[in-house]
Amino acid sequence: MARNRTYSRKKRYATALNTNQPVPTWVVMRTNRRVRERPGKRHWRSSTIKR
């Protein structure tokens, strides 16, 4: 991959990076543990990000 990435690709990677973080504890407490994980959670090796 090129060293200099386009803005759209960088934005996509940043979004994927943020969505991979765990759900905040206050959300888990507020929903009575119904929401524990993010639906878009992924492993860096298992799945790829769309280009």
**Domains of the chain as residue ranges with CATH:** 1-51 (1.10.1620.10)
Position 50, amino acid: K
Q: CA-based Rg of the chain, rounded to a whole angstrom? A: 14
pTM surpassing 0.85?
no
Q: Looking up tokens 């934005």, which residue turns up?
A: 11
Give 20-34 pLDDT, tens digit per residue: 999 999 999 999 999
Average pLDDT on 34-50 reads 90
